[in-house]
Structure 1
Amino acid sequence: MNILARRAIAKPLVPGWTIPFEIATLFYRKQFNHAFSLPSMVQGRAYFDSLYTIAEPTLPVRIQASTAQEPRGHWFIPEVSSGSKTMLYFHGGGYAFYPTVSRHFIALLAHKLQIRIFAPDYRLTPEHAHPAQQEDALAAYGYLLERGAPPTEIVLAGDSAGGHLVLMTLVSLRQAGLPQPALALALSPWTDIGRRGASQFGHDRYDMVQGYQTLQYGQWLKGSGEWSDTQLSPIAQDLRKLAPIYIQAGGKEILVDMIRDFARQAKNQGAPVRLDVWPDMTHEFHAHGSTLQQSEQALTALLAAIQWTEGRVFDSIKETELSGLDSVFNKAQPEIIKPE
């Protein structure tokens, strides 16, 4: 009622927000806050799964549980697929949640991006601290290689904490002497598990995820081990000789400042990186699918990025090659950081 009353006098929380988008953002903020207030993680996860919204409920995507010979997870197989790529997708949820709504989002991506997706059920915190998630990510990537997928046919992707896992996995692959994937897609990625940037708390009033939650997620990730924020933050890693990284973020999300810092750091190290920021959007705005113009733009850009990799071999990336996506990305009028 407060939202509608404010709208009646032409005062949306953010100019340009639609009523459904504003309602959904505040609804999920309430869901997260209440889940955090419950006495156990089991109760928090059950509550978060008890009530949720989805943008496009009927999708032509078959969801299939992995077999006993595969890492635990699910395949999302769209009715229509183009190209030969396979996506390895790491879900978000602060490493602590894997809500049902996340599975709907992965199905949405499989449909919109016309790509087969394997999403592993990596171990969650606080029950399993680092390096459990990284071990599970590497095992899933290794499995795709073992079953015959060449690295040039693998797209690594994830949102929020899953975006964190994408970036850390790229580094771990290089350290392990394993080949890089064709492309890495990071949607609203968590790039510093400590404190970084004014938006981390300054954008609490806009975003569904809150600053205090990121610090708790960081503590759960570190567990009782002697891990530091620096050791577990993508922004503090050596980012050289990685796959091309395409990042999308919302200008009103709490993570946007640390995401910008990461993109600059990657660029300064010579990594092939591109960041597009939709100014009025919040964390993981992509989940609104066709119901929101900015979401549709972002999904179209992700599809273009995947199509851009078709038939290419990324043994030596030239920074100028990334400019091939300009004609598509610029339609969204995002903020861009890319190699010059």
Structure 2
Amino acid sequence: MADKDNLAETPVDRAIARIRSIYGSWTRDTSLTQMRRDWDAAFAGYTARVARQQIAARGVDGEWIVPARAPRDRAILYLHGGGFRMGSMASHRDLIARMAEASGCRVLAIDYRLAPEHRFPAALDDALQAFGFLLYQGLKPKQIALAGDSAGGNLVLATMLAARDRGQPLPAAGVLMSPWTDLAATGASYESRAEADPIHQRKMILALAKSYLGEEGDPCHPLASPLYADLTGLPPLLIQAGDREIVRDDAVMFADKAKGAGIDVRLEIFEGMIHVFQMFPDIPQTQEAIAAIADFLRKELHIEAGEPAK
């Protein structure tokens, strides 16, 4: 007879259990290297029909993830999450591959340098190098979109802001999944969603921020926390977040500020969803979210469905 508790489990419950099983295997003696290996192993593999090619993007390790018939004159630069401390191309390959396949666009994923070995702005410098690499390959800025989740969403915005401040052209658009925009963690959801969020708490978020910034780092620096930046001139943005996550208001507050700056921004809050739920293909809302991302990217990059490679 089937276990009644298992029957009652939802896909979100199973995703939460999966994450907690990783955290639960760690002790005070577990090295950061082992934590990173465990995280990558837990999310390894992919099911989307894509080709892969390892490259070096101006000294930054990267990987092209290419769906069938993807045009060669369009690209997405993907910046993974992990609190600037974990995560890699390996841990996010499935999410990236599903996004690439749905949008019909090739994706360049990179392994930017992680904290605490490499503090701010090392990760941002690597993201800028990768963006420069795509331009060097002959792509025009309007043929490139940036996408990222959590800390990677932070880097998407910081890359755009840094490029703008240097007088460089900006990409066509940005996709942000559960973006971490405020390293000072001031949003009301850090309290109002504390019980609803099964994974993160404000103390943990602040510890990750300190790891990234260092003891004397400023959590309100506009390139570390894009919420505090002048957002003038940013391209269209699609922002998705889950209603259960404590960083929900990082997305909400940023979207409000972006709209106030005249930016074309679309905010989607998914009821009952956790942080970066898009990483879990078994969650039904993930399909809806990825479809919305794909529609947005095709529109902003002018990719027709089934467009042949050029």
Distance 2:121 2:279 in 1: 28
Higher relative contact order structure (alpha carbons within 8 Å, sequence separation ≥ 6): 2
Equivalent of 1:92, from 78, 81, 90? 81
Corresponding position of 1:178: 168
Matches within 5 A, 1:121-200: 121-200=111-190
Matched, 1:269 2:261: yes
Cα 1:204–1:36 shift into 2, 3 Å? farther
Corresponding position of 2:211: 220
Task: Give the counterpart letter for 1:154 in structure 2.
Answer: I
Partner SS for 2:239: strand
Partner SS for 1:72: strand
Partner SS for 2:157: helix
Check whether the contact 1:156–1:183 (CA below 8 A) recurs between aligned residues: yes
Corresponding position of 2:289: 298
Corresponding position of 2:307: none
Check whether the contact 1:201–1:210 (CA below 8 A) recurs between aligned residues: no
Matched, 1:71 2:63: no
Query: CA shift at 1:159, angstroms?
Result: 0.5
Check whether the contact 2:144–2:301 (CA below 8 A) recurs between aligned residues: no
Distance 2:41 2:280 in 1: 19
Distance 2:110 2:197 in 1: 27
Corresponding position of 1:318: none
Partner SS for 2:60: coil
Distance 2:27 2:191 in 1: 17
Check whether the contact 1:91–1:158 (CA below 8 A) recurs between aligned residues: yes
Matches within 5 A, 1:82-121: 84-99=73-88, 100-121=90-111
Moved more, 59-68 or 277-286: 59-68
Matched, 1:307 2:307: no
CA offsets, 1:222-252, max 9 Å, x none?
025x431110211000000111111111111
Query: CA shift at 1:50, angstroms?
Result: 4.3
CA offsets, 1:90-129, max 9 Å, x none?
0011111125332222122212222100011100011100
Cα 1:167–1:310 shift into 2, 3 Å? closer
Matches within 5 A, 1:231-242: 231=221, 232-242=224-234
Equivalent of 1:29, from 10, 14, 20? 20
Identity %: 34
Cα 1:53–1:132 shift into 2, 3 Å? closer
CA offsets, 1:69-88, max 9 Å, x none?
66321111112436842000
Query: CA shift at 1:208, angstroms?
Result: 5.2
CA offsets, 1:18-64, max 9 Å, x none?
6232121232134246547444311221233344487xx42211121
Moved more, 28-37 or 172-181: 28-37
Moved more, 301-310 or 180-189: 301-310
TM-score w.r.t. structure 2 length?
0.87
Query: CA shift at 1:214, angstroms?
Result: 1.4
Check whether the contact 2:278–2:286 (CA below 8 A) recurs between aligned residues: yes
Superposed CA RMSD? 2.4
Corresponding position of 2:11: 20
Distance 1:245 1:61 in 2: 26
Gaps in structure 2 of 5+ consecutive residues: 304-310
Q: Would you say how many aligned residue pairs link Structure 1 and Structure 2?
A: 297
Matches within 5 A, 1:251-266: 251-266=243-258
Cα 1:221–1:36 shift into 2, 3 Å? farther
Distance 1:171 1:22 in 2: 37
Partner SS for 1:87: strand
Cα 1:209–1:102 shift into 2, 3 Å? farther
Task: Give the counterpart letter for 1:286 in structure 2.
Answer: Q
Partner SS for 2:63: strand
Distance 1:154 1:244 in 2: 12
Gaps in structure 1 of 5+ consecutive residues: 9-17, 313-340
Cα 1:171–1:118 shift into 2, 3 Å? same
